Amino acid sequence: MSCSHCGKCCGYVALEVSADTARWIRMHNIPVAEEDGVCKVTIAAPCKYRDAEAQRCTRYEDRPEICRTYLCEQARGNQWN
């Protein structure tokens, strides 16, 4: 799937955490998503290289590997974001 410039992949950071860490985080009233035994904490953190007006990455050709391999369909309707 090609990039639709929706920006969902540029608006958050999802960190995988252990079940024990997830339990501790939940004790601090911070939501933790869990799917197929994988716990993740999502932090709203827009990427500083996203041009919101143009809806494009300003470093697209030099973006990190995680951006290159990110599947847009994961962002759409995904509980992580």
38-55 per-position pLDDT tens digit? 999 988 888 999 998 888
**Between residues 80 and 7, the one the model is more confident about:** 7
Kindly state whether residue 69 falls inside one of the protein's structural domains: yes
1-49 per-position pLDDT tens digit? 566 777 777 888 889 999 999 999 999 999 999 988 999 998 888 899 9
- Number of folded domains that form the chain: 1
Kindly state whether residue 62 falls inside one of the protein's structural domains: yes
The residue range of the domain holding 69 is 8-75
Kindly state whether residue 36 falls inside one of the protein's structural domains: yes
State pTM to two decimals: 0.62
| Residue 40 contacts residue 16 (beta carbons within 8 Å) | yes
Kindly state whether residue 33 falls inside one of the protein's structural domains: yes
* pLDDT of 81 above 50: no
Kindly state whether residue 81 falls inside one of the protein's structural domains: no
Tell whether the torsion through CA atoms of 67, 72, 76 and 80 is positive or negative. Answer: negative
Kindly state whether residue 64 falls inside one of the protein's structural domains: yes
